[in-house]
Amino acid sequence: MSSAPVKKVFSSLQFYTYFFCPYAHRSLIALIEAQLANKLDAFSSDQQATAITYHEVDLYLNEQLTDSFKSINPQGKVPTIRFKLNDGSNSEQELIINESLVINDFLQEVLIPELLPINSNDGQAESAYKKSLAKIWISYFDSNVNSLLFKLVFGEEPSLEKVKAEILTPIQDKLTFLVRNGFSAARKAVSEGPYFFGNHFSLVDIAYFPFVTRLEIILRHKYGLNLFEPFGNASQQTADALKLFSAWYENVKARESIQRSSFKPLFVPVTFTSNELKKQSVSGFNADIKELKELRKPGVISQDEFDTKFFDYEKYVVLGFDLLRKREQQRK
C-alpha cells in the first residue's frame, strides 16, 4: 500500500458486515480496493474518528435482528456503511447506505472511479453504455447464478446425482451464456484481457467472485465436482466458455484485494469459533450457540492475535454452510 497521505472523503466510516456472507464479501473487496489505492485508511475495530471501523454482525447469532442494528439498517441486512462526509461543513449527520451493489456503486463514484472502464476520452453515451453493460450482466448473474448457490447449500442436502442434474448442468449453461454474450460484449467495448472488461478489473468482477468461489469450493469439496469442467453431453461452445471462465476465476482470485478479503485476510472476525483448540480460531466450527456467545469479543482478530496456520478459507466456507444448513433444519 502506498505511503502517500490518504485523501479522506469521509471523516468517519463504519462498515457493518459478516465475513461469511457473499453479499458482504462484495463490499469488503471494494473497500480493500480503495485502501490499496490509498483512498481509505486501514480497518480498525476501535471507535476512532478518522478510522474505518469494522463491525462484525454475526448472522448465525441473529445479531442483524437486534434493535441496535435495526436502528442502523431497519431491513436487518449486511453489508451496511454509515459515514460522515469530510466536506468542511462540520456536520454531525451520519449517512447510511445498504445493499452490496448500491454500496459498491457509491464507492466507485466517490472513491474508486477506476472500478469501471471509463476514461477521459469517452463521450457521455460511451460512458453510459459501459455502466449499462456492468449493470445488465451483474443483474443476469444475480438472477441466474446466485439462486443456484443457495439451492445447493440450503434445505435438504442434495444427492450427488441431484447436484449434477439440478446445479452443475444448469450453472454451466448459465455461465456459457454469460461468457458468450456478456464477456464478449464487454471486451469488445474495452479490450481483451483477464477480467470481465478485459484488462480492467471492475465492479462486475467484484460482484461475481464471492458467489463463484463459494460454488467452486462447495462443489469440489463436498461432491468432487469441477465447476469449470464440462459435464455430461456439453457442447464445444460450453467447453470453450468454461475454459475462459476458469481463466477469469484464477486471474480474479490472484488479485490482492480478493486474497485479503478471503484466502489470506489481514484479520478474521470471531465467528464459528471453538475452544477445543484453546484458541479463538475460525477453523474450529464445533462451538454451540452458548460457546459462541461466551467466546465472542468486539471487533476482529488480527494476524498477531491468532496463528494463521489455523485459518483455512475453504474449510471455513464448507463447514460454515454445513453449520447453517444444520441450524435451518433444527428450526423446522
Alpha-carbon span 319 to 93, nearest angstrom: 41
pTM score, whole prediction: 0.87
Residue 161: predicted pLDDT: 96
Whole-angstrom distance, CA of residue 164 vs CA of residue 96: 42
Which amino acid, residue 88?
Answer: G
pLDDT at 12 over 90: no
Q: Supply the pLDDT for residue 318.
A: 87
- Secondary structure (3-state) at 69: helix
Measured CA to CA, the distance from residue 110 to residue 97 in angstroms comes to 13
**pLDDT per residue as tens digits for the range 54-77:** 888 888 778 899 999 999 999 999
pLDDT digits (tens, 9 = 90+) for 88-101: 666 667 899 999 99
Average pLDDT over residues 192-206: 96
Angle at 60 between CA 57 and CA 65, to 5 degrees: 60
Give residue 91's pLDDT. 65
Which residues are bridge partners to 54 per DSSP?
A: 15
Are 98 and 61 spatial neighbours (Cβ–Cβ below 8 Å)? no
Residue the block writes with cell 480497518? 43
**Res. 259: pLDDT tops 60:** yes
Residue 287 pLDDT exceeds 80: no
What region, left, alpha or beta, does residue 6 occupy, with left being phi > 0 and alpha being psi -120 to 50 degrees? beta
Which pLDDT score is estimated for 232? 82
Per DSSP, the three-state class of 312 is coil
SS3 8: coil
Q: Which of 95, 89, 82, 81 is nearest to 24 (CA)?
A: 81
Note whether 215 and 171 are within 8 A (CB).
Answer: yes
Which helix (H) or strand (E) segment holds residue 19: the answer is none
Q: Which residues contact 270 (CB under 8 A, 6 or more apart)?
A: 56, 280, 282, 295, 296, 297, 300, 301
User: Strands (DSSP E) along 76-228, which ranges?
Assistant: 80-85, 95-98
Which of 40, 63, 81, 11 has the alpha carbon at shortest distance from 269? 63
Q: What percent of the chain has pLDDT over 90?
A: 57
Strands 300-302 and 80-85: unpaired
What domains can you pick out in the chain, each with its CATH number?
10-115 (3.40.30.10), 124-254 (1.20.1050.10)
What does residue 252 show for φ and ψ, rounded to 5 degrees?
A: -65, -45
Res 328 pLDDT > 90: no
Beta strand pairing status for 267-269 and 300-302?
Answer: antiparallel
pLDDT digits (tens, 9 = 90+) for 290-323: 444 455 444 444 444 444 455 778 988 888 888 7
Helix (H, G, I), strand (E, B) or coil at 154: coil
Indicate whether 273 pLDDT > 90: no
